[in-house]
């Protein structure tokens, strides 16, 4: 069980489900049905739940090749910009992308 004061990255808030949650919370706040503090707690629980589910349940594998354009490491977060990327999802499926941004964070707290 994670510590009660452990913080989680807010990466998944920029996903379609994260954006929908934020929009719904904004609507509830503007209608004065909930307080902003409650909305922040809901978003923190969302961050924790997404990290937990993706870490525990997702077992898919993906291979990719491309040309590394930019990389940086700041505040324990790696960011890579890759150009002309070829993704291989399984033996037959390939997807091409002109530009991809990958953000990688520490998944478990250091001992």
- What pLDDT does 87 receive? 92
Per-domain boundaries in the chain: 11-57, 63-105
| Comparison of pLDDT for 83 and 111, the residue scoring more | 83
Question: CA 3 → CA 6, 68, 97, 108, distances in Å?
Answer: 5, 36, 39, 12
Residue 13: closest CA among 39, 40, 46, 38: 46
Kindly report, residue by residue over 55-68, the tens digit of the pLDDT. 888 888 889 999 99
Mean pLDDT, rounded, for 9-30:
94
Q: Measured between alpha carbons, how far is 105 from 93 in angstroms, rounded to an integer?
A: 27
The topology under which CATH files domain 63-105 is TATA box binding Protein, subunit D; domain 2 (2.30.18)
Which pTM was predicted? 0.68
Q: Measured between alpha carbons, how far is 96 from 98 in angstroms, rounded to an integer?
A: 7
Average pLDDT, the chain: 88
pLDDT exceeding 90 applies to what percent of the chain? Answer: 60
The topology under which CATH files domain 11-57 is Helix Hairpins (1.10.287)
- What residues contact 50, with CB distance under 8 A and at least 6 apart? 12, 18
């Amino acid at each position: 069980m994670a510590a009660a004061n452990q913080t989680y990255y807010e990466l998944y808030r920029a996903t379609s489900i994260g954006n929908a949650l934020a929009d719904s919370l904004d609507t509830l706040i503007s209608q004065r049905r909930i307080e902003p503090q409650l909305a922040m707690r809901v978003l923190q629980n969302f961050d924790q739940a997404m990290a937990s589910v993706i870490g525990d349940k997702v077992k898919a594998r993906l291979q990719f090749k491309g040309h590394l354009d930019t990389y940086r490491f700041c505040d324990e977060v790696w960011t890579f910009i890759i150009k002309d990327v070829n993704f291989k999802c399984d033996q037959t499926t390939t997807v091409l992308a002109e530009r991809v941004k990958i953000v990688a964070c520490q998944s478990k707290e250091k001992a």
